[in-house]
């Protein structure tokens, strides 16, 4: 029977001033963030930003220089074995013993987990198009990653930690993976997923944290980040308008010489723009979808120096 997890605490992950240095190089600097139980949390940042360092600290694969982490109410260092039994983990490049068959390897891992019904393993393998009779050493990178996905999901863990997991997967399998994440969240499981591509987490994430150079630079819901994204717009008027038609509207717009076509960009709410346009006869209005990728690249490139959150407190 499928188990639905009902979180007993509000947060599955609590990080406080988590810092990790490698000699003179700082991998993580004062990271403070909470991941709520039952949510899908997207952890975004360019390569080398500190995403994998954070995940390794969560799993006690490395130790922090300072600060602390609490995962599922446990200390990763003091309660490592007990914690890892409740976690499903997959790195970006899944490495395993290539001498076994896929079926034999998954059965071995299932036994380490205390036993997983074969029907559960078969179901996941079938959905991902994974041939369990194949030898692991003969699998392509994408098919090895499918093995990693099965082992991460098969025991229905309370927390899934997925680090750049779509590497090598074709688009159809990527969609199946997103379906599995959605189903896990609906089942009450928490998903912590790192990526450097916004589009990979946008479809399923409840909230997104953006990390750059080891520091958190943004933390909000996908909807809130979308509201702050840049949109390209184009407005066509029935009759020429003057350049002062949009006085008081804080947008980057340009009116052509004929006074007929208005083009440019708008960030955030468009209420003021709509009110200004209401005084004129508009024959055409086009606005692109919020360019989230551009917004995230602005964080990646250092356009923001401090975390953007709904409040000044960890959320």
Residues 165 and 249 reside in one and the same domain: no
For residue 8, is it within any domain?
A: yes
pLDDT value at position 17? 94
**Which residue from 242, 246, 274, 248 is spatially nearest to 260, judged by alpha carbons?**
242
N residues, the chain = 315
Residues 216 and 273 reside in one and the same domain: no
Count of CB atoms situated within 10 Å of the CB of 220: 19
Structural domain containing residue 204: 1-86+157-225+291-308
pLDDT in tens, 50-61: 999 999 999 999
- Residues contacting 215, CB < 8 A, separation 6+: 29, 30, 31, 50, 307
Distances (CA, A) of 108 to 101, 118, 145, 303: 11, 12, 17, 48
Q: What is the pTM of this model?
A: 0.78
Q: Which two tokens stand for residue 307?
A: 């975390």
pLDDT value at position 218? 87
CATH (domain of 275): 3.30.70
Give the integer Cα–Cα distance in Å for 69 and 63.
10
For residue 104, is it within any domain?
A: no
pLDDT value at position 242? 83
Residues 8 and 75 reside in one and the same domain: yes
Residues 74 and 162 reside in one and the same domain: yes
Residues 193 and 261 reside in one and the same domain: no
Residues 204 and 162 reside in one and the same domain: yes
pLDDT in tens, 10-21: 799 999 999 999
pLDDT value at position 19? 93
CATH (domain of 38): 3.40.50.300
For residue 106, is it within any domain?
A: no
Residues 21 and 76 reside in one and the same domain: yes
Q: What is the DSSP letter of 42?
A: E
Residues 277 and 173 reside in one and the same domain: no
Low-confidence ranges of the chain (pLDDT < 50): 1-8, 303-315
Residues 18 and 66 reside in one and the same domain: yes
Number of domains in the chain: 2
CA dihedral 200, 206, 210, 216 (to 10 degrees): -160
Residues 208 and 279 reside in one and the same domain: no
- Residues contacting 122, CB < 8 A, separation 6+: 132
pLDDT value at position 250? 61
């Amino acid at each position: 029977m499928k188990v639905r997890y009902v979180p007993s605490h509000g947060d599955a992950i609590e990080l406080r001033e988590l810092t990790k240095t490698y000699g003179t190089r700082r991998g993580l600097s004062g990271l403070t963030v909470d991941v709520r139980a039952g949510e899908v949390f997207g952890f975004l940042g360019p390569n080398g930003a500190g995403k994998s360092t954070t995940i390794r600290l969560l799993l006690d694969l490395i130790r922090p220089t300072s600060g602390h982490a609490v995962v599922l109410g446990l200390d990763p260092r003091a309660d490592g074995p007990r914690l890892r039994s409740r976690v499903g983990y997959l790195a970006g490049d899944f490495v395993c013993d290539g001498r076994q068959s896929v079926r034999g390897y998954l059965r071995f891992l299932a036994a380490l987990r205390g036993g997983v019904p074969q029907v559960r393993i078969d179901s996941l393998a079938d959905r991902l198009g994974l041939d369990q009779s194949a030898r692991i050493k003969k699998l392509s990178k994408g098919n090895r990653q499918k093995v990693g996905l099965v082992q991460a999901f098969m025991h229905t863990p309370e927390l899934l930690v997925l680090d750049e997991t779509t590497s090598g997967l074709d688009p159809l399998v990527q969609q199946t993976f997103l379906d599995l994440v959605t189903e896990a969240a609906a089942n009450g499981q928490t998903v912590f997923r790192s990526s450097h591509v916004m589009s990979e987490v946008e479809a399923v994430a409840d909230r997104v944290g953006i990390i750059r150079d080891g520091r958190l630079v943004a933390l909000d819901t996908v909807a809130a980040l979308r509201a702050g994204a840049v949109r390209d717009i184009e407005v066509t008027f029935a009759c020429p308008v003057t350049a002062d038609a949009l006085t008081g509207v804080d947008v980057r717009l340009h009116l052509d010489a004929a006074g007929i076509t208005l083009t440019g960009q708008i960030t955030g709410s468009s209420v003021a723009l709509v009110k200004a346009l209401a005084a004129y006869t508009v024959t055409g209005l086009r606005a692109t979808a919020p360019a989230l990728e551009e917004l995230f690249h602005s964080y990646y490139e250092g356009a923001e120096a401090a975390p953007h959150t709904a409040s000044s407190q960890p959320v």
